[in-house]
Amino acid sequence: MAREGLSPGVPPQRYDCSLGACRFKKSNLALNIFQEMDFQGCYPDRESYMILMKGLCDDGRLDEAIHLLYSMFWRISQKGSGEDIVIYRILLDALCDDGKVEEALEILGKVLRKGLKAPKSRRQRLDLSRCRDREDSEATKRLINEALIRGGVPSMDSYSAMAIGLYNEGRVDEGDKVLDEMHKRGFFPSLPMYEAKAEALSKKGRVSEVIKVIKEDIKEGTCVSSVGLYNTILKCLCNAGD
Helix extents (H) in the chain = 12-19, 27-39, 46-58, 62-75, 85-97, 101-110, 120-124, 137-151, 156-168, 172-184, 191-203, 207-212, 227-239
Report which of 46, 54, 50, 52 is spatially closest to residue 33, judged by C-alpha positions.
52
Written as one letter, the residue type at 165 is G
pLDDT at site 179: 92
Are 53 and 88 within 8 A, CB to CB? Answer: no
40-74 pLDDT per residue, tens: 777 778 888 888 899 899 989 999 999 999 888 87
129-159 pLDDT per residue, tens: 666 655 677 888 888 888 888 877 788 888 9
Neighbours of 100 (CB within 10 A): 17
175-200 pLDDT per residue, tens: 999 999 888 888 889 999 999 999 99
Give the separation between CA 28 and CA 132, rounded to whole angstroms: 32
pLDDT at site 130: 65
207-230 pLDDT per residue, tens: 899 889 888 888 877 788 889 889
pLDDT at site 57: 92
Are 137 and 97 within 8 A, CB to CB? Answer: yes
Please, what's the largest Cα pairwise distance for the chain? 65
pLDDT at site 170: 92
In three-state secondary structure terms, 39 is helix
Percent of the chain scored above 70 by pLDDT? 81
pLDDT of 6 above 50: no
pLDDT at site 117: 80
pLDDT at site 4: 37
> Using alpha carbons only, what angle is made at residue 75 by residues 160 and 156, rounded to the nearest 5 degrees?
15
Name the pLDDT band for 126 (thresholds 50, 70, 90).
low
pLDDT at site 154: 80
